[in-house]
């Protein structure tokens, strides 16, 4: 049986009450466990919608760092591009394009599938596929001439870029 949303309590867990009740004579080891539990509650019980309140640049940097940290030692491109943080970057849409281009300019990485997914474009010719430097060069050239195009994704990406 479902509980109507209107009858849900506003706060399911009041961390201040829990901390206050546990702080009475708590051992240091228990404090470490409690702090870890508190971090867990704040991270995993925070609604995903709050993530969208972050500025796009801040959100992108957080996701990029998470992706790079978690995929640093992976050799499978498929595993790298199916990582949740990578998929969330794609989910940011056109606002992520200038941020991805900036990443390619500063430190080339496998951002090509994300760019292709967001823009619907794939400017890389078949003979350059697999060559990180060549693919980077092609996408940077695409970005340079994007300002001249009338494609909706170019207009959206460029308008996002001008906000930063």
Residues recorded for the chain: 164
Question: In this structure, what DSSP letter does residue 135 have?
Answer: H
Please name the residue ranges forming H helices in 55-131.
56-71, 77-81, 84-91, 97-106, 112-119
Give the residues of the chain that fall short of pLDDT 50. 1-9, 163-164
* Complete DSSP assignment for 11-60: -S--HHHHHHHH-TT--HHHHHHHHHHHHHHHHHSS-GGGGGGS-HHHHH
pLDDT at position 36, please? Answer: 74
Tokens of 142: 């695409």
What pTM, to 2 d.p., does this model score? 0.61
pLDDT at position 150, please? Answer: 58
Q: Which residue has the tokens 């506003």?
A: 10
In tens, the pLDDT along 122-155 reads 899 999 999 999 999 999 998 888 765 556 666 6
pLDDT at position 120, please? Answer: 85
CB atoms within 10 A of CB 153: 16
d(CA 75, CA 98): 26
In tens, the pLDDT along 23-33 reads 566 677 777 77
Domain ranges of the chain: 5-46, 54-161
């Amino acid at each position: 049986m479902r509980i109507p949303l209107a009858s849900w309590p506003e706060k399911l867990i009041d961390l201040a009450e829990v901390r206050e009740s546990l702080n009475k004579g708590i051992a240091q080891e228990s404090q470490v466990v409690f702090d870890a539990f508190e971090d867990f509650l704040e991270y995993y019980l925070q609604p995903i919608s709050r993530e969208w309140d972050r500025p796009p640049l801040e959100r992108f940097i957080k996701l990029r760092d998470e992706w790079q940290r978690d995929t640093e030692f992976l050799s499978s491109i498929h595993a790298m591009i199916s990582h949740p943080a990578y998929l969330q970057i794609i989910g940011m849409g056109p606002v992520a394009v200038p941020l991805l281009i900036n990443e390619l300019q500063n430190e080339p990485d496998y951002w090509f599938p994300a760019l292709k997914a967001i823009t619907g474009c794939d400017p890389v010719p078949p003979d350059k596929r697999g060559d990180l430097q060549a693919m980077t060069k092609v996408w940077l050239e695409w970005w340079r001439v994007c300002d001249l195009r009338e494609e909706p994704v170019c207009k959206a990406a460029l308008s996002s870029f001008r906000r930063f």
